[in-house]
Amino acid sequence: MLPGAPHLARTADGRLRLEGHVLADLGRRFGTPLFVYSRAAMRDAVAAYQRALQGRPHLVCYAMKANSSLAVLQTFAQAGCGFDIVSGGELERVLAAGGDAAKVVFSGVGKTRAEMRQALQAGVRCFNVESTSELDTLSQEAVALGRVAPVSLRVNPDVDAGTHPYISTGLKGNKFGIAHDEALAAYRHAASLPGLRVVGIDCHIGSQITQVAPYLDALDRVLDLVEAVEAAGIAIHHVDVGGGLGITYTDETPPRADEMVAALLARLDARGHGHREVLLEPGRSLVGNAGVLLMEVLVLKPGSAKSFCIVDAAMNDVMRPAMYEAWMGIEPCLLRAETARTWDVVGPICESGDWLGRDRTLAVQPGDLLAMLSAGAYGMAMSSNYNTRPRAAEVLVDGDQVHLIREREQVADLFAHERLVRD
């Protein structure tokens, strides 16, 4: 098993396998670029959270922005998960995959009135509200529909999660949530509005977090507010501690899910809040290391300053390196005996930012297949059609079964809804 990649291993003959399936064979069969996911890895990841929460009132809500493919959502729905959504489109995906709207929490700073109506009619479990103006709008829409909207206020605790600034969400300078010192007044306002029912409190401080301490700092600030809100006569049923637990891409050592959950539960108990229902919103930690992206080497371009290994995948398939300068493991699907050299692995897109891995030591030849590891999160979900490139196909392996869960787009699909002007 390779570091950070459950169910991925290299056999004695040098072939890379996922759940026993030879990745090179899958790449040849379905074409490249190709996302391949392990269903067992996803199930194992969510089971770690569920075991740690056993005996406590709880709900694990998969943060589906990490990977919203229907078969992935189906896997978590079948495991008893709820879902953390941030758009009406994501709600439609949950329902199409067999998810239960009553287990959905609707987050996001910019919900439209149409999305609010859609979620109210579907009967979502809770709206995670991020501003007082959103409270006013949601109240109006709920009253107009004759519904009651269950609400939880997302509080910004001003806690540094120690992660990339683009994925930090719990600081004063971030756009998310209601400032900690304004939250009590916001709760009073929510309790006064018709069509709303306060049910909880929510906090999410960032993504790819590799320490427990920021979670505990945030939880302490949230519990301070719970006590103040309940002293004001407003009951809080659940505490949603968000998600953001990191995974191993290279040398990171994030806590295991059960370690993080145990620390959070211990803090809740120590402060007298052990009776409350706990919600968690993991995303990356459930799917990140369950997936790989397969790509074919097109051209080797040695140079005096840099040598480039040009592949058929690109920044439109995986944005993380270009957007965050993220390091993602890249492994040959079949080890070669020849001497390796240092390459920058790049794609065909007309941007200097189109790189997938810098300074990688690889023994490769044109036609070889490479696997980008830890590609199950924020790969397909953030992919685009830049340079009129069709998005990749997706495959789910499940024991001895191989399922094509998304067909490869065709170029004609990309402009099927466009129209020429008739002069």
Gap between the Cα atoms of 294 and 228, Å rounded: 52
What the block records as the tokens of 127 is 């709206």
What the block records as the tokens of 206 is 């960032």
The answer to whether 222 and 170 have CB atoms below 8 angstroms apart is no
CA nearest 173: which of 187, 156, 161?
156
Gap between the Cα atoms of 66 and 372, Å rounded: 17
The answer to whether 318 and 302 have CB atoms below 8 angstroms apart is no
What is the DSSP secondary-structure string of 264-300?
HHHHHHHTT-TTSEEEE---HHHHGGGEEEEEEEEEE
What is the DSSP secondary-structure string of 16-60?
EEETTEEHHHHHHHH-SSEEEEEHHHHHHHHHHHHHHTTTS-EEE
Q: What ranges in 282-374 are assigned the alpha helix state H? A: 284-287, 320-324
Gap between the Cα atoms of 280 and 77, Å rounded: 15
SS3 82: strand
Gap between the Cα atoms of 348 and 251, Å rounded: 29
Gap between the Cα atoms of 37 and 245, Å rounded: 20
Contacts of 88 (CB under 8 A, 6+ apart): 112, 114, 115, 118, 119
Catalytic residues, by residue number, are 350
Contacts of 318 (CB under 8 A, 6+ apart): 293, 328, 356, 372, 375, 378, 379, 382, 383
Residue carrying structure tokens 């040849």: 28
The answer to whether 268 and 218 have CB atoms below 8 angstroms apart is no
